[in-house]
Amino acid sequence: MANLLETAAQAGSFSTFLEAVNKCDLASTLTAEGSLTLLIPTNDAFTKLPEGTLDALLEDVTKLKKVLMYHVVFGDVRSQDLAEIDEAPTVEGSIIAVDHSSNGITVNDVRVLKTDMLADNGVIHEIEGVLMPAIVAGHS
């Protein structure tokens, strides 16, 4: 089985996220042994950000790294786990809110589109928006 980044690359809809990971030199973190859960925004999600936001993030590696690590949860958190929790700590250090309803699962009010893309070192869930940690959102 492939690691998280290889699995994300094979999915084909995460090239913006992967480009950002390479820009921040986070590949070794996301391919290390152990289990991580990635909540990866689609390429379309990045295009929905306010104009200039993505370019500004790509220019500020420190801020970009915080945003990317806000999309990473410790452990192998699959869809059935998401359905049972209300929040999860991120590698960035903040907590994300998890909500579940008849409409599916949301993370910080961002809908989870596809779940349980399994990799050697964790699992990927595809989300329809970019999550912004409060520390970054408040300073943009």
- CATH for 4-132 (3.90.660.10, 1.20.120.1200, 2.30.180.10, 3.40.50.970): 2.30.180.10
Residues 78-108 have pLDDT tens digits of: 999 999 999 999 999 999 999 998 889 999 9
For the chain, the domains span 4-132
For 103, phi and psi rounded to 5 degrees?
A: -85, 0
Q: Give 21's contacts (C-beta < 8 A, 6+ positions apart).
A: 5, 27, 30, 68
Neighbours of 69 (CB within 10 A): 18
Q: Which pLDDT band, with edges at 50, 70 and 90, does 140 fall under? A: very low
Q: Which pLDDT band, with edges at 50, 70 and 90, does 138 fall under? A: low
The two structure tokens encoding residue 50: 């306010």
